Amino acid sequence: MRNQASDRLRMDDRETCSIHDALGRPLKDLRISVTDRCNFRCLYCMPKQVFGKDFRFIPHQDMLSFEEITRLAGCFVELGITKIRLTGGEPLLRRHIERLITYLAALRTPDGKPLDLTLTTNGSVLAQKAQSLFDAGLKRITVSLDAIDNDSFMKMNDVGFHIDGILHAIEQAVQVGFSPVKVNAVIRKGFNEDQILPLVRHFRHTPVILRFIEYMDVGSNIDWNREQIVPASKIVETINRYFPIEPLEANYLGETAERWRFKDGGGELGVISSITQPFCTDCTRIRLSTEGRIYPCLFSSEGFDLRTLLRSGQSDQQVTEAIAAYWRNRSNRYSELRKETGQQLTEKKIEMHYIGG
Ligand code: SAM
Ligand code: SF4
Ligand code: SF4
């Protein structure tokens, strides 16, 4: 059962945006991958046997510079983008990321509002960087954490990173003033479904919003199969049995998480049911890769190269028009089609570490 945004919310959202895709969906969110590198080797994203020492990451000269990213972000804002999420790879590994945050935090929507700027991180270097990120203008943050038990966590990150470093980073983020701090946990049957309740216990009655994500068939390098999905409905049922919860309204059109709250006032949590209850109908997201290609869907195989446009002297207006034309043509709805046909549809999909979550 997915919460529906109110009709008024939908109407407002559709009216304030200037462009829509072929299925009538507005362009609202931009996800920017700032690096394809990562210091973790999560089994469901960058398995070691593929991403070993011989793997060729994007060379530095092929990455967009912070100035190029900011210029493109400005074009997207012209087209109606109000929210930007920085991701990767591990975004905090990109050197001087604070400088990019300063640039993006200074952007304004056509009606003069700051953007809703956020970042998703594995938390490994967040404790050291929380204050400088906040001072640069980042006010919201999401940390990925799939277990509370250290042995499980070390198996999931597969590089022996200890849980204490991440828990300390989350506390640090709260203390520095990030609000909200969210924690994302991907649940995979046979790996960490026993961590659902320990995660809930740990984050209930704290300012942190915990969100559970269904294991997805991203990229072409992971060993995904349907049997390993723990459906969002099952996660909700498991939690509700021990900690009664009730549904909350969606905050805005295109919100990925179905929101719930503890009946005893223990706070809010979310579930993201990309597989069992896809939300393509309200998908307002576009993704920009580290080397400047845009992708209309997390499961696309083809992107559109904006870096060449930027580096060949095109004006902002020409770049903006190219993005608009690309979005107007968009008709992707991979997860709905996967559900309707019961099959994975694309032969070669972009990788999660390349495009971000
Ligand atoms: N490295 C950062 C991190 O882990 O938060 C940002 C990039 S990571 C690709 C973004 C999100 O994608 C993380 O929350 C991660 O758990 C999620 N993710 C990666 N592979 C996934 C999969 N196969 N299914 C569901 N979520 C996945
Ligand atoms: Fe790295 Fe994030 Fe992928 Fe894990 S999910 S390997 S932390 S990019
Ligand atoms: Fe959006 Fe593609 Fe995910 Fe559907 S499958 S919600 S279109 S990113």
Distance 351 CA to ligand 3 centre (A): 14
Distance 278 CA to ligand 3 centre (A): 8
The pLDDT assigned to 253 comes to 66
Q: Give the C-alpha separation, 240 to 288, whole Å.
A: 37
Ligand nearest to the CA of 286: 3
Distances in whole angstroms, Cα of residue 111 to Cα of each of 72, 102, 108, 114, 325: 19, 20, 8, 9, 23
Q: In one letter, which amino acid is 262? A: F
Pairing type for strands 258-262 and 245-247 reads: antiparallel
The CA dihedral of 126, 132, 134, 135, to the nearest 10 degrees, is 180
The pLDDT assigned to 149 comes to 97
The pLDDT assigned to 218 comes to 80
Taking the chain (357 residues) in runs of 10, the rounded mean pLDDT of each run is 39 59 97 97 92 91 97 98 97 98 97 97 98 98 98 95 98 98 96 97 98 89 85 97 95 81 97 91 95 94 95 97 97 89 74 80
Q: In one letter, which amino acid is 342? A: G
Residues with CB under 6 A from ligand 2: 38, 40-42, 45-46, 88-90, 122, 144, 352-353
CATH assignment at residue 89 = 3.20.20.70
The pLDDT assigned to 17 comes to 53
Q: Is 351 in the pocket of ligand 1 (CB under 6 A)?
A: no
Q: Is 353 in the pocket of ligand 1 (CB under 6 A)?
A: yes
Distance 223 CA to ligand 2 centre (A): 15
The pLDDT assigned to 137 comes to 98
Residue from 35, 42, 125 whose mutation best tests the ligand 2 pocket (most atoms within 8 A of CB)? 42
Q: Residue 52 in 3-state DSSP?
A: coil
Distance 314 CA to ligand 2 centre (A): 34
Q: Is 295 in the pocket of ligand 3 (CB under 6 A)?
A: no
Q: Is 157 in the pocket of ligand 1 (CB under 6 A)?
A: no
The pLDDT assigned to 9 comes to 35
Ligand nearest to the CA of 39: 2
Q: Is 333 in the pocket of ligand 3 (CB under 6 A)?
A: yes
Number of domains in the chain: 1
Structural domain harbouring 30 = 2-355
Distance 82 CA to ligand 3 centre (A): 18
Tell me which residue of 108, 81, 85, 107 sits closest to 26, measured CA to CA. 81
Distance 252 CA to ligand 3 centre (A): 17
Degrees to nearest 5, angle at CA 173 with 171 and 174: 65
Distance 9 CA to ligand 1 centre (A): 28
Among protein residues, the one with the nearest Cα to ligand 1's atom 4 is 122
Residue with tokens 């967040």: 126
